[in-house]
Amino acid sequence: MEQYEPDRLSAAQVAAVRRSFRNGRAALSRRSLLRASAGGALAVGGLGVLSACGIPPAARTSGVSSEDHSAKEKTVAFSNWTEYMDVDDSGKRHPTLEEFRKRTGIAVKYTEDINDNVEFFGKVKPQLAAGQDTGRDLICVTDWLAARLIRFGWVQKLDASNLPTAYANLSQQFRSPDWDPGRAYSYPWTGISTVIAYNRKALDGEEVTSVSDLLDNPRLKGRVGFLSEMRDSVGMTLLDMGKDPGRFTDDDFDAAIARLQKAVDKGQIRRFTGNDYTSDLTKGDFAACIAWAGDVVQLKADSPDVDFVIPDSGYMTSTDNLLVPNKSRHKTNAERLIDYYYEPKPAAELAAYINYVCPVDGVKAELARIDEDAANNPLIIPDREMAAKSRAFRSLSSKEETAYEEKFAKLTGA
């Protein structure tokens, strides 16, 4: 394990957090996102833990566990994002969780109490830093926070003997991120792809196949959108420049920022957005934009003019990941729940509801029984060609993250 890194947030990083609360991927529930009214505010508790000076530095522990009570206590506490689990028509039951309980006798205390990674980190950090139980056996966080928790030694190494299905069925695309080689500590809940979306009517005959088209085509001037999430917008730009977002240098990053700045200065980019690009895209205010695939799946169902393209240069993928915190009382039960969601049937039921990238191989036939269109949608089940174009943003040190967010904030005017 590395020496712990201080978690003091710069002014730019705090601005990025607030941006996420307002309109980033965390701002609205995934399922209700496209039906939400414009300008709806997210009531977020815990923002007070952040300030321009940042949250207190982390104390690193040694990766402690506790006595596993799974055999005697048939329960598991699972914290997840809002609207990130299948529900029945009543909106009150989670069929896959019910099936898990019936099969195993393990009751899942399921709570959707994660609104944003940084907010959630602030919520659980005091207990983790003190080596105390968070009251959670399983959590779901985005890859950069998963990397931080692993680096601090605050999550437990998984027992491979309890995860035979997960190990066998994990898609190759997600098997070995640089922050958790071989998935010793985590398994992905879902993948989040960043692609180019466009409004066919607004393009008026123009062709968009690359990020270069967004940045350089004068006929799209003022009708292009990029995301307010640094890793997505810079990552897609790096790919277009022939650079690997998993191996770039400071000079590469600066070159990508300069390229985006040029497009901002000449009025090519209309604005940097969070999820609110969906309204601009459907209305035609954006002819094309950088977008999240889960949104595009739902937009296409309601807006026939909206479609997407995967650039030849590649596209960005991140993951939301399942981890077992230190001092969890029910580690084995948590591992059994992870393994269950790597079976094709529950994985298909989940994918049919949330519409994000399914990380489970062999799920297509099961998904086709539920929703044939979803099964044939490469934004949910990537084919081999699409999976090969997937790239992840490399892990950043605290120093790099601060510097990069500062530069990106200056670019976007945050």
Q: Are residue 106 and residue 180 in the same domain, yes or no?
A: yes
Q: What is the pLDDT of residue 12?
A: 56
Q: Are residue 301 and residue 335 in the same domain, yes or no?
A: no
User: How far is it, in rounded angstroms, from Cα 279 to Cα 286?
Assistant: 9
Residue 34 lies in a domain: no
- Rounded alpha-carbon distances, angstroms, from residue 8 to 50, 55, 106, 185: 9, 5, 39, 25
Contacts with 33 (C-beta within 8 Å, 6 or more apart), sequence order:
275, 278, 295, 298
Q: Are residue 355 and residue 284 in the same domain, yes or no?
A: no
pLDDT-derived band of residue 166, with 50, 70 and 90 as boundaries? Answer: very high
Residue 66 lies in a domain: no
Residue 346 lies in a domain: yes
- The predicted model scores a pTM of 0.82
Residue 29 lies in a domain: no
Residue 48 lies in a domain: no
Q: In this predicted model, what pLDDT tens digit does every residue of 79-103 receive, in sequence order?
A: 999 889 999 988 789 999 999 999 9
- How much of the chain, in percent, has pLDDT values that exceed 90? 75
Rounded mean pLDDT, 241-263: 98
Rounded mean pLDDT, 243-250: 97
Q: Are residue 92 and residue 165 in the same domain, yes or no?
A: yes
Q: Are residue 407 and residue 265 in the same domain, yes or no?
A: yes
Q: Are residue 81 and residue 229 in the same domain, yes or no?
A: no
- Rounded alpha-carbon distances, angstroms, from residue 79 to 54, 104, 109, 140, 224: 24, 20, 8, 7, 36
* DSSP H or E segment with residue 75: strand 75-81
Q: Are residue 216 and residue 335 in the same domain, yes or no?
A: no
Q: What is the pLDDT of residue 3?
A: 42
pLDDT-derived band of residue 9, with 50, 70 and 90 as boundaries? Answer: low
Two tokens at 358?
């399914």
User: How far is it, in rounded angstroms, from Cα 185 to Cα 203?
Assistant: 45
- In this structure, how many other beta carbons lie within 10 angstroms of the beta carbon of residue 130? 10
Q: Are residue 312 and residue 344 in the same domain, yes or no?
A: no
Residue 35 lies in a domain: no
Q: In this predicted model, what pLDDT tens digit does every residue of 300-315 receive, in sequence order?
A: 888 999 999 999 999 9
Q: Judging by beta carbons within 10 Å of its beta carbon (0-12, 13-18, 19+), is residue 172 exposed, middle or buried?
A: exposed
Q: What is the pLDDT of residue 126?
A: 96
Range of the domain at 205: 192-317+398-412
At residue 337, what is the residue type?
A: L
CATH number of the domain encompassing residue 163: 3.40.190.10
Top pLDDT among 46 and 214 is at 214
Two tokens at 213?
């088209």
Q: What is the pLDDT of residue 90?
A: 84
Q: In this predicted model, what pLDDT tens digit does every residue of 24-82 receive, in sequence order?
A: 444 443 433 433 322 233 333 333 333 333 334 444 544 555 789 999 999 999 999 98
Q: Are residue 226 and residue 309 in the same domain, yes or no?
A: yes
Residue 39 lies in a domain: no
Contact 247, 394 (CB under 8 A): yes
How many Cα neighbours within 13 Å face the side chain of 34?
18
User: How far is it, in rounded angstroms, from Cα 244 to Cα 248?
Assistant: 6
Q: Are residue 222 and residue 240 in the same domain, yes or no?
A: yes
- Rounded alpha-carbon distances, angstroms, from residue 356 to 58, 87, 195, 379: 32, 15, 13, 7
Q: Are residue 208 and residue 342 in the same domain, yes or no?
A: no
The total domain count for the chain is 2
Residue 100 lies in a domain: yes
Q: Are residue 177 and residue 249 in the same domain, yes or no?
A: no
Contact 152, 61 (CB under 8 A): yes
User: How far is it, in rounded angstroms, from Cα 86 to Cα 403?
Assistant: 39
